[in-house]
Amino acid sequence: MPTAVLGILIISLAVLLAVAGVVLMERQMPVEVRKSRTTGLSQISGGLGAMFGVIVGFSAFLVLSKYHAAQQTVQSEAGDLEEIYRLAQPLPEPKQEQVQGLVVSYARVVVDEEWPLMREGRWSPRADALAEELRRSIQDGYKTSTGATQQFFGEELDVMDELDEDREARLIDVRIGLPSILWVALIVLGASIIGLTYLIGMESHRLHLLTVGTLATGIALVLFTIFVLDRPFGTDFRVGSQPFELVLREMGKDAR
């Protein structure tokens, strides 16, 4: 399901539940009774709102940092591949062709196979295997070469270490999200704030519904935005594979 459609459905459901709660409360508690409690409820609601704002700000900082870091990780990983490909150019055949071929194969598998899998919280075993094969190829070349050629292999091993680190960082972002305790705090506080608005004594039924519905929309939108940013590879707004695609095009030009 498209992320935007999912967001609309979730927000609509939240507003519907909030409005239904208002209707039930107004039937159970007369407006006169609710008016007498409005002042105290406003103070409590203000305190909860402040706590909710702090948790939202902290969570937003975490997920925005994560999303930005994921973008940088993808760019860095693609740059590592380009660097390994470039360092392989002075190598003797058939090692040059072998290393460069593995670099191209890895990039293609990441773009064509792994990127769609990451949306489901998975990754490609084939990409793992190609990364291991690329490392073994470079290590074998380092062990069997001497002089300047060995130096090139040594530089490639250094970049290979960076590639493995970037890949692991990308896969961690696929597997690990915002701590569950923060989600509990966000949902409980958000629901509590909406629930307290049911008890506010408003003469106008429509105005009461509009106020609660607007508040529910805002809270649901904030929570959904945090959810989307917490999954940098899992929604329609995910970090794209453009850096890998660009590297593939550049390597394709070099091959010609």
Residue count of the chain, please give it: 256
Q: Are residues 174 and 186 in the same domain?
A: no
Residue 116 half-sphere exposure toward CB, CA atoms < 13 A: 4
In a domain, 174, yes or no: yes
Q: Are residues 132 and 19 in the same domain?
A: no
Domain of residue 70 covers: 53-178+230-256
Q: Are residues 104 and 211 in the same domain?
A: no
Q: Are residues 188 and 216 in the same domain?
A: yes
53-102 pLDDT, tens digit each: 999 999 999 999 999 999 999 999 999 999 999 988 888 888 889 999 99
170-226 pLDDT, tens digit each: 999 998 889 999 999 999 999 988 888 877 767 777 888 888 899 999 999 999 999
Asked whether 61 and 226 are in contact (CB, 8 A), the reply is no
Q: Are residues 84 and 165 in the same domain?
A: yes
Instruction: Please state the domain count of the chain.
Output: 2
- pTM equals 0.84
Question: Token digits for 183?
Answer: 């989600």
Q: Please, which residues have CB within 8 angstroms of residue 59's CB and are 6 or more apart in sequence?
A: 178, 182, 186, 226
Q: Are residues 213 and 237 in the same domain?
A: no
Question: Token digits for 227?
Answer: 């959810």
